[in-house]
Amino acid sequence: MALIDLSKREVHCKIVYCGPGRCGKTTNLLNVYESMAEKDRGKMLTIDTKGDRTLFFDLLPLNLGAIRDFNIRIQLYTVPGQVMYAATRKLVLKGVDGLVFVADPLRVRRESNIESLRDLRQHLLEYGLKIEDIPMVIQYNKRDLAEGPTPTLTIEELESDLNSDLKVKTFLASAVEGKGVFETLREISKLTVRYVANKHLLTNLK
Ligand SMILES: Nc1nc2c(ncn2[C@@H]2O[C@H](COP(=O)(O)OP(=O)(O)OP(=O)(O)O)[C@@H](O)[C@H]2O)c(=O)[nH]1
Ligand SMILES: [Mg+2]
């Protein structure tokens, strides 16, 4: 649930990047961090990273303009993708306002994508939330590998595995090259801010 600070006239929206281990969640945030002006971004916080694997979460705060006279602050989080960190993932999802599901196109990761989405649905349900009720986009990352020697999934296969029920907007990306990163962020920010405004500001803060 978004945090609203009446005294500072600020709304904090929480967007969480989910997806299987190594799909490129942290790379997305690093790319956003490096591309934003210092005045619009906070410090990127990485909590207990082992090598380049996320063990707890990454956090990147951004300033994103205003809704009426409320400044919008967006907190971008990543969860640890590895299967064994389910409890931490659930904790990071608490109070989520928007979701980016980052999918890995490597054919060997097909089951991991599906399992990760199932795990996300389940954790949300445990918080009383249906995945369909939360703003969400899917990012098909690592498109640079599509033409390479390693077998990858087609977009049709990814769509059928991950988006046949949800039918959310999707973005092609190559987060290492910075491609598709801002398109993904822009859309989820727009959806999330609209959702928070409808849910909290318009009803509670006349
Ligand atoms: N080729 C290619 N590699 C990528 C891309 N995005 C990320 N990677 C690489 O994939 C590896 C894992 O990326 P991370 O961003 O650490 O993945 P993560 O989802 O945060 O992984 P966990 O924290 O373990 O859940 C790194 O070596 C990245 O450089 C991409 O678009 N293309
Ligand atoms: Mg990570």
Of 6-20, 24-38, 114-128, the one with minimum mean pLDDT is 6-20
Q: Which residue has the higher pLDDT, 46 or 165?
A: 165
Q: Which atom of ligand 1 is nearest to the CA of 78?
A: 20
Does residue 5 carry a pLDDT above 90? no
Q: Which residue lies with its CA nearest to atom 2 of ligand 1?
A: 142
Mean pLDDT for all residues in the chain: 93
70/94 Cα distance (integer angstroms): 23
Q: Which tokens is 118 given? A: 């199932």
Provide the token pair at 145.
């590998």
Name the phi and psi angles at 145, rounded to 5.
Answer: -85, -10
pLDDT in tens, 10-22: 889 999 999 999 9
Ligand 1 contacts CB of residue 52 (under 6 A): yes
Q: Where are the domains of the chain?
A: 3-204
- Ligand 1: which residue has its CA nearest to atom 21? 22
pLDDT of residue 171: 98
Note the CATH architecture for domain 3-204.
3-Layer(aba) Sandwich (3.40)
Q: Has residue 194 got a pLDDT over 60? A: yes
**Percentage of residues of the chain with pLDDT beyond 90:** 80
> How far, in Å, is the centroid of ligand 1 from the Cα of 138?
16
CA-closest candidate to residue 75, choices 91, 97, 53: 97
What is the distance in A from the centroid of ligand 2 to the CA of 70? 31
Q: Output phi, psi for 204, to 5 deg.
A: -95, -20
Q: Region 111-129: what's the mean pLDDT?
A: 98
Q: What is the pLDDT of residue 49?
A: 81
Alpha-carbon span 75 to 80, nearest angstrom: 16
- CA–CA separation, 16 and 134 (whole Å): 11
Going by alpha carbons, the residue nearest to atom 6 of ligand 1 is: 24
pTM above 0.85, yes or no: yes
| Residue 204 pLDDT class (50, 70, 90 cuts) | low
pLDDT at 191 over 50: yes
Residues 6+ apart with CB under 8 A from 84: none
pLDDT-derived band at 1, boundaries 50, 70, 90: low
